Amino acid sequence: MSNLGPVGRQMEEALKAAFNPQHLEVIDESHRHAGHSGAHPDGESHFRVIIVSEAFAGQPLVQRHRMVNEALAELLRERVHALAITARTPDEVPA
């Protein structure tokens, strides 16, 4: 069971639908940015995503980030202020 709020859960669902990931972590880091520019009073404004998917095969890092940003475009436009992304293929994950 995830400890994420509604925004984080929306992010999880959008990323699952877009990439069918073998591994996905959506981490709410908003508490680390309270009081900073872009911080939402209700939290859920700063996230870290760690995603492993075959969909990133053959794609350079910048394109992988663009793909994730596109999948989350509505949330990034309306609610999420900052997003840190680690996007890998299964072959790139350490054993």
User: How far apart are alpha carbons 44 and 42 in whole angstroms?
Assistant: 7
CATH code, domain carrying 39:
3.30.300.90
The region of weakest confidence among 12-16, 37-41, 53-57 is 37-41
Question: What are the pLDDT digits (tens) for 40-60?
Answer: 556 678 899 999 999 999 999
Q: Please check whether residue 38 is in contact with residue 80, taking contact to mean a CB–CB distance below 8 angstroms.
A: no
Domain encompassing residue 23 = 6-92
Q: Kindly report the pTM of this predicted structure.
A: 0.85
3-state secondary structure labels for all residues of 41-85: CCCCCEEEEEEECHHHCCCCHHHHHHHHHHHCHHHHHHCCCEEEE
- Would you state the pLDDT for residue 93? 87
Q: How confident is the model at residue 1 (pLDDT cuts 50, 70, 90)?
A: very low
Domain count, the chain: 1
- Would you state the pLDDT for residue 4? 85
- Tokens 């872009």 belong to 38
- Would you state the pLDDT for residue 30? 80
Q: Is residue 1 part of a domain?
A: no
What amino acid occupies position 58? G
- Residue among 16, 93, 88, 81 nearest 43 (CA): 81
